Amino acid sequence: GDAHLNGDAHLNGDAHLNGKSSTTPICPSTGQPCANGCGNTPAAKALGAAEDDPVTAAREPIFPPELKRRVLTPLALPGAIATWHRPTILAGLLALKKAHPDARLVCGNTEVGVEVKFKNMKYPVIVAPTHVPELTEVTVNEDSLVLGASVTLTTLLNACETLTARLGPVRTSGLVAIKEQLRWFAGPQVRNVSSVGGNVCTASPISDLNPLWIACGATFEVESLDRGARRVAAKDFFKGYRSTDLKPDEVLTAIALPLTEKGEYVREFKQSHRREDDIAIVTAGMRAKFDIVDNVPTVAEIAFGFGGMSFKTVSCPKTSAALAGKPWTDETLKLALATLPEDLPMSPDVPGGMCEFRRSLANSFVFKFYVDCCRRLEADGLVADAVAAAGLGAADLSAADRFHRPFPSGAQYTQVRDGGTVGQPTMHQSAEVQVTGEAEYADDIAKPVGMLHAALALSTVPHGKILDIDPAAALATPGVHGFFSAKDVPNNVIGPAVLDEEVFASEYVTCVGHPVGVVVADTQDIALEASRLVRVKYEELPAILNIDEAIAADSYHTWPGFTDHGIEDGDVDAAMAECEAAGRVVEGDARCGGQEHFYLEPMVSLVWCGDNDDLITISSTQAPQKHQKLISSALKIPCNRVVCKTKRLGGGFGGKETRAAFLNVCAAIPAFHMRKPISLVLDRHVDMAITGQRHAFLGKYKVGYSPEGKILALDMMLYNNAGNSLDLSAAIMDRAIFHSDGAYKIPNVRVNGRCCKTNLPSNTAFRGFGGPQGVIFAEMWMDRVARKLGQPAEKIRHVNLYEEGETCHFGQKMESSQLRACWDEAVAKADIDSRRAAADAFNAVNKHRKRGIAATPVKFGISFTALFMNQAGALVHCYLDGTVLVTHGGVEMGQGLHTKVAQICAAELGIETDSVYIAETSTDKVPNASPTAASASSDLYGAAVTDACRQINERLAPVKAQLGPEKSKDFKEVCTAAYFARIDLSAHGWYTTPDLVWQWDGTKGRPFNYFCFGAAVSEVEIDALSGDVNLLRTDIVMDCGDSINPALDVGQVEGGFVQGMGWVALEELKYGDPDHKWIRPGTLFTAGPGTYKIPTANDIPLEFNVTLLHNAPNPRAVASSKAVGEPPFLLANSVFFAIKDAVCAARAGNGLDTDITMDSPATPERVRMACGGPISDVFYDSTDAPAYRAKLTC
């Protein structure tokens, strides 16, 4: 008889509740009868379990048993926009589908929810088939596994695991493939609610499972009320883009998956941008059944299913027919690789792009399957020497390995100071409320009475003249209170650096997402819906969408004094001519893409008016003073009437320095006119689309070097994609110019920079502020020099490192330099020489998996490059109970600034850190504060607080002398005595960074207070067939001076490194531009977590070792510390160049040149295509050029 596996209880052996009383305690975590005794623990009893009645508790268990016994009934819940039905029998479901052919069936809402929220789809009737028993059954018979269509993916995964163990590997090759594919399908939360049937009927062209259903020969059972049931082969089910063979009144009820036989193998494949929780670029399922005659395997049956290769999931009939009856040999493999492209044609401008990569992946997957079958035929004892007979060697076998990630490990080495509060690993002051969810962010505060919600009306073209703005339809929407545009703004011209922006576009829009107005309504949903009803007519104008187009059109932001800077040091022309004569020059161009900030908290502004034309705003910003200034300017009211407050940010990374300000002005306009509180909260996809990112850069360089690898001359031109306004692009370019030497002494340097004016949203500050772009270009040409000389790159880098006392190209000397100390310790801890030898040995015996290792240094200047911004103020108030309140101009955005300031204050006053509270940042407490940026906030505000505390200590000295040593230990008593002596217990502290000298007039100077140093060594393993990257190990040594808080600093080092790793190896922005014609011009395709991927916990190094350099005090900052916000970001360069090292090993194995340019980020596309080789040569001849350069939004 058939075995039934219905639900998790059967699969996992869970206990069944039958409603009868029991003496078993109830588990406080699950609400189930306790099986392991935890219900009798003190913790359980603390939750209210009574001694004499373990089922009855003073507090309800998390899941009351009564709900388990509840009898299900059909539901029909009418709503304003949809009616929700939940049938409980199959006939009821079919009747609903007949009555409502357009009804959407929803189990987990993982697809329809996205369509409703982001695609504005309307579904008046929604049916939930989750409680129809026939659709939730899992049944196994002699030759197949039958799944009800409402079975969740988690249940399917559990069933695969259970049946694999019970039935053995011969019958379950398909189940193993499904189980492995589901490991990388979304996350547990999604798998727990998503259904098998929903996944099938969504008919996504990049589905993970549908190719496997096709390959395995699955059949789908569909049923209607009138015509009954019928069966459809999976290969015939998918008819077009997100369309299937289902008739309007039919429902998918079950999936029958055949079990495999002896000599039959199934394999799954998937490549995505990020390994975990990411949609596929290409996904595949393959099955081969062999007849064995005279020790020769012959293809009896073979099937392929591919996703990501067409507008639907496809099979490959030509390839299957061509291989049928053929022996499993190298000639058959060649036939498969030649025939597959005929089944999978693809145009260069195919939606999704990456044409050559996707076609290469498909062929690479076939090769992997070929190797896998050979290996399994031999391992199963079906064919002796199957691997050798197939023309494969031992070095080929790892091509078929599945990726399994072990649990990561790591170590943190810090130095804790003796005594005192400074130097201790004190916990972040907000840590507890943040992990419990109690921490209040800007959108969490109690809302003012009568608050309205705002939503922006945004342009849909990259460049156009506005002919008409018609808000009539929006204003007619119930709940809408108004629409405001440029004519409602007293002063519509704004800008954080120069006045080149408008609050709302008046005559021209210059990017997609340019605000043309704001709608105000009762709720956010109404405001968003109404904003989409604002009709704008344009005369479309030519748009410039990337750096190359800007250069060709001579389109630059030109503001005398702000832009077009450069530095020249030494005699570049003479040195370069000498190197050229000796043939020791590398020349080329390099590109690095932008990066989305992806702060957890999106942009938020809340504005309301007082009773005297004053405005109060709470905003998620790193720069409250900029908000105050821009609101004051736009409304033509004095700054003293505008107060901007910020308690904490859910991340900023530079993105909330200037781009938050114009949004606050957009909210202030209706608040001022209507005298109503206004809230403006951006959805994630809108935030990403309109607020700008890290600048993409193009660098054109020429480098001369000596026979020993010493860099003698650098001539470089930098371009950044600034977007439609200048914003901070000029200052970002300045820092890139300052850091274009990397960490290397170059006697002759010429570097210039231009800010390209394009029709994209204005790009802005991001952690590192141009430094990372300048430094990665330096490492790119340094790596090329090493390869020209045939030397390990770390050797050439070491030769060129700055020495103590040497001078940078801008004139600043290396003082108290810890650069070589960091480098020496990092390479020693990493044991780089022996590990490079081990990597070489690994590469020698693995043809398709390669390892690479790289060490890179960090030198990063600390100070605002705009000298006037290097100032800070703070207020310190001492109260009679001995507690202290501090207000300063810095913003807490998760980095621990407030905690460090509290430690410094406590140390200065001789009290415990717990006695110091840091108040919210507010412009009415500390005026004219510089943004919390440039990694300088701990230096600036820590020093300002120190100044205030010293003033108070000077006043308290006579009081302490009078009280005596013992009583003076009690700060409460000291404050009380001072109060009665009428001594001021409040002080305003002030600090300006000393000795800074810089002018862009050709002279040398000192733009930075000091440098931070560091070094990192990273090792990776790449799959040269798919481009997949696995980060094996990273060793970091970072110079943080005498750390104020080692725990926070290690967190910043690790977080900065991982964020940098995302920039160089994972995250890629894609706009509609000449290289991405499948995207609407000027539109950001990667607007949201569905298409833009940041690192997860599964992307960190498998071994992650961090050391804060010991015994390295910094004499130029508070408490001998150093900044730690931005410098660690640059440590991730070691990952990029380890990847390139592995790519070059693959190229060498393919007989290709290793002197190549690889642009950043090193995504799977760039890695795979740079490796080259015969499989990808079908689509791109890697012998015609040094390396394939994938298209990049730049």
Active site residues: 1126
For residues 753 and 730, is the Cβ–Cβ distance under 8 A? Answer: no
Q: Distance of alpha carbon 165 from its chain centroid, rounded?
A: 37
Instruction: Give the position of tokens 């202290």.
Output: 884
Q: In 10 A of CB 1142, how many CB atoms?
A: 28
- Determine the Cα–Cα distance for residues 998 and 1006; give it in Å rounded to an integer: 6
Q: Please enumerate in sequence order all residues whose Cβ is within 8 A of that of 405, keeping only pairs 6 or more positions apart, or say none.
A: 1030, 1098, 1102
Q: How far, in Å, CA of 633 to CA of 454, rounded?
A: 21
Identify whether the C-beta of residue 1194 lies closer than 8 Å to the C-beta of residue 720: no
φ/ψ (deg, to 5) at 529? -65, -45
Alpha-carbon distance of 1133 to 778, in angstroms, equals 11
Tokens read off for 52: 């004499």
CB 466 within 8 A of CB 538: yes
d(CA 501, CA 1079): 26
Would you state the structure tokens that stand for residue 782, as one six-digit string? 């340094």
Residue 649 near residue 441 (C-beta atoms within 8 A): yes
CB 900 within 8 A of CB 940: no
Copy the structure tokens of residue 618. Answer: 């709470």
Name the β-bridge partners of 744. Answer: 801
Distant-in-sequence, close-in-space partners of 22: CB < 8 Å, separation ≥ 6:
33, 55
Please state, in angstroms and rounded to a whole number, the distance separating the CA atoms of residues 176 and 182. Answer: 10
Backbone angles phi and psi of 307, in degrees to 5: -115, 150
- Is residue 1140 helix, strand or coil? helix
> Exposed (0-12), middle (13-18) or buried (19+): which is 919, by Cβ within 10 Å?
middle
Closest CA to 185 of 219, 161, 156: 156
Rounded Cα distance, 948 and 171, in Å: 76
CB atoms within 10 A of CB 437: 7
Closest CA relative to residue 729, chosen from 685, 686, 759, 692: 692
DSSP state of 462: S
Instruction: Name 165's Cβ contacts closer than 8 Å, sequence gap at least 6.
Output: none
Three-state DSSP class for residue 729: helix
User: Is the bond into 1161 cis (omega within 30 degrees of 0)?
Assistant: yes
* CA pair distance 500, 559, nearest whole angstrom: 10
Question: DSSP character for 70?
Answer: P
Distance (Å, rounded) from C-alpha 588 to C-alpha 717? 11
Are residues 225 and 91 in contact, defined by beta-carbon separation less than 8 angstroms? yes
Q: Which helix (H) or strand (E) holds 918?
A: strand 916-918
Q: From CA 702, how far away is CA 752, in angstroms rounded?
A: 13
Residues with Cβ within 8 Å of 517's Cβ and at least 6 positions away in sequence, in order, are 456, 457, 469, 471, 483, 484, 485, 486, 504, 534
Tokens representing 847?
A: 């043809």
Contact 857, 1014 (CB under 8 A): yes
Q: Which residues pair with 561 in a beta bridge?
A: none
Whole-angstrom Cα Rg for the chain: 32
Token code pair at residue 1064: 């160089």
